[in-house]
Protein backbone atom coordinates (compact mmCIF):
# COMPACT_ATOMS: atom_id res chain seq x y z
CA UNK A 1 0.00 0.00 0.00
CA UNK A 2 2.80 2.38 0.85
CA UNK A 3 4.57 1.58 -2.43
CA UNK A 4 1.38 2.26 -4.39
CA UNK A 5 0.89 5.53 -2.54
CA UNK A 6 4.49 6.62 -3.11
CA UNK A 7 4.15 5.78 -6.80
CA UNK A 8 1.37 8.37 -7.10
CA UNK A 9 3.07 11.79 -7.34
CA UNK A 10 -0.16 13.72 -6.76
CA UNK A 11 -0.89 11.74 -3.58
CA UNK A 12 2.67 12.34 -2.36
CA UNK A 13 2.24 16.06 -3.03
CA UNK A 14 -1.00 16.06 -1.04
CA UNK A 15 0.62 14.16 1.83
CA UNK A 16 3.50 16.65 1.97
CA UNK A 17 1.08 19.59 2.07
CA UNK A 18 -0.97 17.97 4.85
CA UNK A 19 2.13 17.14 6.94
CA UNK A 20 3.59 20.63 6.53
CA UNK A 21 0.30 22.27 7.50
CA UNK A 22 -0.02 19.99 10.51
CA UNK A 23 3.52 20.89 11.63
CA UNK A 24 2.82 24.61 11.14
CA UNK A 25 -0.38 24.38 13.19
CA UNK A 26 1.23 22.44 16.04
CA UNK A 27 4.37 24.56 16.17
CA UNK A 28 2.61 27.92 15.68
CA UNK A 29 3.88 29.47 18.97
CA UNK A 30 7.45 28.55 18.01
CA UNK A 31 7.52 29.61 14.36
CA UNK A 32 5.24 32.67 14.34
CA UNK A 33 7.54 35.73 14.14
CA UNK A 34 5.06 38.02 15.97
CA UNK A 35 2.21 37.74 18.42
CA UNK A 36 -0.95 37.56 16.25
CA UNK A 37 -2.81 39.86 18.66
CA UNK A 38 -0.18 42.62 18.89
CA UNK A 39 -1.07 45.71 16.87
CA UNK A 40 1.13 48.61 15.84
CA UNK A 41 -0.51 51.84 14.65
CA UNK A 42 2.75 52.92 13.01
CA UNK A 43 2.72 50.00 10.54
CA UNK A 44 -0.90 49.82 9.41
CA UNK A 45 -1.45 48.10 6.03
CA UNK A 46 2.28 47.83 5.48
CA UNK A 47 3.29 45.94 2.33
CA UNK A 48 5.33 42.71 2.64
CA UNK A 49 8.85 43.46 3.87
CA UNK A 50 11.68 41.86 5.82
CA UNK A 51 10.06 42.73 9.13
CA UNK A 52 6.63 41.50 8.01
CA UNK A 53 6.98 38.91 5.27
CA UNK A 54 3.27 38.97 4.39
CA UNK A 55 2.62 42.57 5.37
CA UNK A 56 0.32 43.89 8.10
CA UNK A 57 -3.43 44.41 8.42
CA UNK A 58 -5.50 47.50 9.24
CA UNK A 59 -4.46 47.28 12.90
CA UNK A 60 -0.76 46.75 12.20
CA UNK A 61 -0.84 43.04 13.10
CA UNK A 62 1.57 40.71 11.33
CA UNK A 63 -0.35 38.79 8.64
CA UNK A 64 2.10 35.87 8.55
CA UNK A 65 1.66 35.25 12.28
CA UNK A 66 -2.12 35.44 11.95
CA UNK A 67 -1.99 33.04 8.99
CA UNK A 68 0.04 30.55 11.03
CA UNK A 69 -2.38 30.70 13.94
CA UNK A 70 -5.27 30.58 11.48
CA UNK A 71 -3.98 27.20 10.32
CA UNK A 72 -4.62 25.86 13.85
CA UNK A 73 -8.23 27.00 13.70
CA UNK A 74 -8.87 25.58 10.23
CA UNK A 75 -7.31 22.21 10.95
CA UNK A 76 -9.01 21.90 14.34
CA UNK A 77 -12.39 22.65 12.79
CA UNK A 78 -11.71 20.19 9.99
CA UNK A 79 -10.65 17.28 12.20
CA UNK A 80 -13.22 17.75 14.96
CA UNK A 81 -16.14 18.35 12.59
CA UNK A 82 -15.22 15.33 10.46
CA UNK A 83 -14.76 13.24 13.60
CA UNK A 84 -18.29 14.09 14.72
CA UNK A 85 -19.84 13.48 11.30
CA UNK A 86 -17.93 10.23 10.79
CA UNK A 87 -18.96 8.86 14.20
CA UNK A 88 -22.64 9.65 13.59
CA UNK A 89 -22.56 8.38 10.01
CA UNK A 90 -20.82 5.12 10.92
CA UNK A 91 -23.21 4.40 13.81
CA UNK A 92 -26.38 5.04 11.81
CA UNK A 93 -25.07 3.50 8.58
CA UNK A 94 -23.90 0.30 10.28
CA UNK A 95 -27.21 -0.03 12.14
CA UNK A 96 -29.24 0.46 8.96
CA UNK A 97 -27.09 -1.88 6.88
CA UNK A 98 -26.95 -4.67 9.47
CA UNK A 99 -30.59 -4.81 10.60
CA UNK A 100 -32.30 -3.77 7.36
CA UNK A 101 -36.10 -3.79 7.22
CA UNK A 102 -37.96 -1.14 9.16
CA UNK A 103 -34.78 0.08 10.91
CA UNK A 104 -33.10 0.67 7.57
CA UNK A 105 -36.20 2.39 6.16
CA UNK A 106 -36.53 4.79 9.10
CA UNK A 107 -32.84 5.74 9.14
CA UNK A 108 -32.61 6.23 5.38
CA UNK A 109 -35.78 8.34 5.26
CA UNK A 110 -34.22 10.53 7.94
CA UNK A 111 -31.10 10.77 5.76
CA UNK A 112 -33.28 11.76 2.78
CA UNK A 113 -34.94 14.49 4.83
CA UNK A 114 -31.55 15.86 5.92
CA UNK A 115 -30.32 15.84 2.33
CA UNK A 116 -33.26 17.96 1.17
CA UNK A 117 -31.90 20.92 3.14
CA UNK A 118 -29.04 22.82 1.47
CA UNK A 119 -26.12 22.26 3.84
CA UNK A 120 -24.81 25.82 3.84
CA UNK A 121 -28.25 27.34 4.50
CA UNK A 122 -28.92 24.77 7.21
CA UNK A 123 -25.65 25.70 8.91
CA UNK A 124 -26.43 29.41 8.57
CA UNK A 125 -29.86 28.89 10.12
CA UNK A 126 -28.41 27.01 13.11
CA UNK A 127 -25.53 29.45 13.61
CA UNK A 128 -28.04 32.33 13.64
CA UNK A 129 -29.47 30.93 16.90
CA UNK A 130 -26.11 30.12 18.50
CA UNK A 131 -23.03 32.06 19.47
CA UNK A 132 -20.54 32.18 16.61
CA UNK A 133 -17.82 30.35 18.55
CA UNK A 134 -15.37 27.83 17.17
CA UNK A 135 -16.92 25.01 19.23
CA UNK A 136 -20.41 25.72 17.96
CA UNK A 137 -19.12 25.85 14.40
CA UNK A 138 -17.42 22.47 14.75
CA UNK A 139 -20.55 20.93 16.24
CA UNK A 140 -22.84 22.38 13.58
CA UNK A 141 -20.64 21.29 10.67
CA UNK A 142 -20.31 17.81 12.13
CA UNK A 143 -24.04 17.45 12.82
CA UNK A 144 -25.00 18.54 9.29
CA UNK A 145 -22.49 16.58 7.19
CA UNK A 146 -22.82 12.91 8.27
CA UNK A 147 -25.29 11.77 5.59
CA UNK A 148 -22.71 10.77 2.99
CA UNK A 149 -20.78 8.66 5.49
CA UNK A 150 -24.02 7.02 6.61
CA UNK A 151 -24.90 5.96 3.06
CA UNK A 152 -21.38 4.74 2.41
CA UNK A 153 -21.20 2.62 5.57
CA UNK A 154 -24.70 1.25 5.01
CA UNK A 155 -23.76 0.03 1.53
CA UNK A 156 -20.55 -1.56 2.82
CA UNK A 157 -22.25 -3.32 5.74
CA UNK A 158 -25.05 -4.60 3.50
CA UNK A 159 -22.45 -6.17 1.22
CA UNK A 160 -20.68 -7.72 4.24
CA UNK A 161 -23.82 -8.96 5.98
CA UNK A 162 -24.07 -12.17 3.95
CA UNK A 163 -20.37 -13.02 4.09
CA UNK A 164 -19.41 -16.29 5.76
CA UNK A 165 -17.62 -14.69 8.72
CA UNK A 166 -20.67 -12.54 9.49
CA UNK A 167 -23.03 -15.51 9.24
CA UNK A 168 -20.69 -17.57 11.45
CA UNK A 169 -20.61 -14.79 14.07
CA UNK A 170 -24.42 -14.72 14.17
CA UNK A 171 -24.56 -18.54 14.36
CA UNK A 172 -22.26 -18.45 17.40
CA UNK A 173 -24.78 -16.24 19.17
CA UNK A 174 -22.80 -13.00 19.20
CA UNK A 175 -24.82 -9.91 19.98
CA UNK A 176 -25.57 -7.60 17.03
CA UNK A 177 -23.66 -4.71 18.61
CA UNK A 178 -20.56 -6.90 19.00
CA UNK A 179 -20.81 -8.17 15.43
CA UNK A 180 -21.10 -4.62 14.10
CA UNK A 181 -18.15 -3.31 16.15
CA UNK A 182 -15.84 -6.32 15.84
CA UNK A 183 -16.57 -7.53 12.30
CA UNK A 184 -18.65 -5.15 10.18
CA UNK A 185 -17.07 -1.75 10.86
CA UNK A 186 -13.40 -2.83 10.63
CA UNK A 187 -14.08 -4.22 7.14
CA UNK A 188 -15.82 -1.00 6.09
CA UNK A 189 -13.17 1.44 7.32
CA UNK A 190 -11.17 1.86 4.10
CA UNK A 191 -13.76 3.90 2.14
CA UNK A 192 -14.77 5.73 5.32
CA UNK A 193 -11.16 6.80 5.89
CA UNK A 194 -10.96 8.20 2.35
CA UNK A 195 -14.29 9.98 2.83
CA UNK A 196 -13.05 11.48 6.10
CA UNK A 197 -9.88 12.83 4.47
CA UNK A 198 -11.95 14.48 1.75
CA UNK A 199 -14.40 15.71 4.38
CA UNK A 200 -11.68 17.67 6.18
CA UNK A 201 -11.23 19.79 3.06
CA UNK A 202 -14.96 20.43 2.89
CA UNK A 203 -15.15 21.38 6.57
CA UNK A 204 -12.28 23.85 6.17
CA UNK A 205 -14.09 25.45 3.23
CA UNK A 206 -17.32 25.74 5.22
CA UNK A 207 -15.54 27.28 8.22
CA UNK A 208 -13.73 29.76 5.98
CA UNK A 209 -17.01 30.68 4.30
CA UNK A 210 -18.75 31.24 7.64
CA UNK A 211 -15.86 33.32 8.96
CA UNK A 212 -15.84 35.37 5.73
CA UNK A 213 -19.55 36.10 6.24
CA UNK A 214 -18.93 37.11 9.85
CA UNK A 215 -20.75 34.05 11.26
CA UNK A 216 -17.70 31.95 12.01
CA UNK A 217 -14.64 32.48 14.17
CA UNK A 218 -14.82 36.01 15.55
CA UNK A 219 -11.92 38.49 15.73
CA UNK A 220 -9.46 38.92 17.32
CA UNK A 221 -9.00 35.14 16.94
CA UNK A 222 -7.15 34.59 13.68
CA UNK A 223 -8.89 32.62 10.95
CA UNK A 224 -8.22 32.53 7.23
CA UNK A 225 -11.85 33.44 6.63
CA UNK A 226 -11.91 36.57 8.78
CA UNK A 227 -8.57 37.70 7.32
CA UNK A 228 -10.24 37.46 3.91
CA UNK A 229 -13.13 39.56 5.20
CA UNK A 230 -10.75 42.38 6.10
CA UNK A 231 -9.02 42.03 2.76
CA UNK A 232 -12.33 42.55 0.95
CA UNK A 233 -12.61 46.14 2.16
CA UNK A 234 -8.93 46.97 1.54
CA UNK A 235 -8.36 45.09 -1.72
CA UNK A 236 -7.28 48.21 -3.59
CA UNK A 237 -4.51 49.11 -1.13
CA UNK A 238 -3.66 45.82 0.62
CA UNK A 239 -3.85 42.97 -1.88
CA UNK A 240 -1.92 40.64 0.44
CA UNK A 241 -4.86 40.44 2.88
CA UNK A 242 -6.91 38.69 0.18
CA UNK A 243 -4.23 36.78 -1.74
CA UNK A 244 -2.45 35.15 1.22
CA UNK A 245 -5.43 33.55 3.01
CA UNK A 246 -7.01 32.71 -0.33
CA UNK A 247 -3.90 30.79 -1.40
CA UNK A 248 -3.71 29.10 2.00
CA UNK A 249 -7.28 27.82 1.67
CA UNK A 250 -6.65 26.73 -1.93
CA UNK A 251 -3.45 24.84 -1.12
CA UNK A 252 -4.93 23.20 1.99
CA UNK A 253 -8.08 21.97 0.25
CA UNK A 254 -6.03 20.83 -2.75
CA UNK A 255 -3.65 18.91 -0.48
CA UNK A 256 -6.43 17.00 1.28
CA UNK A 257 -8.18 16.26 -2.01
CA UNK A 258 -4.99 14.92 -3.60
CA UNK A 259 -4.25 12.78 -0.55
CA UNK A 260 -7.81 11.48 -0.45
CA UNK A 261 -7.80 10.55 -4.14
CA UNK A 262 -4.45 8.81 -3.73
CA UNK A 263 -5.68 6.81 -0.73
CA UNK A 264 -8.77 5.79 -2.66
CA UNK A 265 -6.56 4.41 -5.44
CA UNK A 266 -4.54 2.46 -2.88
CA UNK A 267 -7.37 1.14 -0.73
CA UNK A 268 -9.92 0.27 -3.43
CA UNK A 269 -9.40 -3.42 -4.29
CA UNK A 270 -11.08 -2.97 -7.65
CA UNK A 271 -8.39 -0.47 -8.64
CA UNK A 272 -5.63 -2.87 -7.49
CA UNK A 273 -6.80 -5.45 -9.98
CA UNK A 274 -6.46 -3.11 -12.94
The answer to whether the CB of 122 falls within 8 A of the CB of 116 is no
- How confident is the model over 245-262, as pLDDT tens digits? 999 999 999 999 999 888
List the beta strands (DSSP E) in 41-121. Answer: none
Q: In a 10 Å sphere around its CB, with 0-12 CB exposed, 13-18 middle and 19+ buried, how is residue 58 labelled?
A: middle
Secondary structure class of 128 (helix, strand, coil)? helix
Q: What is the pTM of this model?
A: 0.85
Q: At what angle do helices 224-233 and 240-267 cross, to 10 degrees?
A: 140
pLDDT at position 90 over 60:
yes
| Eight-state DSSP code of residue 47 | P
Q: Domain locations in the chain?
A: 2-29+60-272
* pLDDT digit string, tens, across residues 34-49: 888 888 888 888 888 8
Mean pLDDT of 226-247: 86
Residue 272 has pLDDT above 80, yes or no: no
Of 84 and 38, the one with more pLDDT? 84
For 211, phi then psi, to 5°, come to -65, -35
pLDDT in tens, 112-154: 988 888 777 777 777 777 777 788 888 888 888 899 999 999 9
Distance CA 88, CA 147 (A): 9
What average pLDDT score do residues 58-64 get?
A: 89
Superfamily of domain 2-29+60-272: MetI-like (1.10.3720.10)
Query: Quick one: which of 40, 25, 29, 61 has its CA closest to 220?
Result: 61
Amino acid sequence: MLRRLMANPLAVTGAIIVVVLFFVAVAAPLIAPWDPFDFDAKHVLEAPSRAHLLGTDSLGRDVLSRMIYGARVSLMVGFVAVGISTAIGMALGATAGFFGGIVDAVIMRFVDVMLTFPTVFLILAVIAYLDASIWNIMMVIGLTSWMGVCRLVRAEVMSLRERDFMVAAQALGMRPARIIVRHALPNALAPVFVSAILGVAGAILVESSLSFLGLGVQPPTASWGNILTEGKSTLGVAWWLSVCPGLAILITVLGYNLLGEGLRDVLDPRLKAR
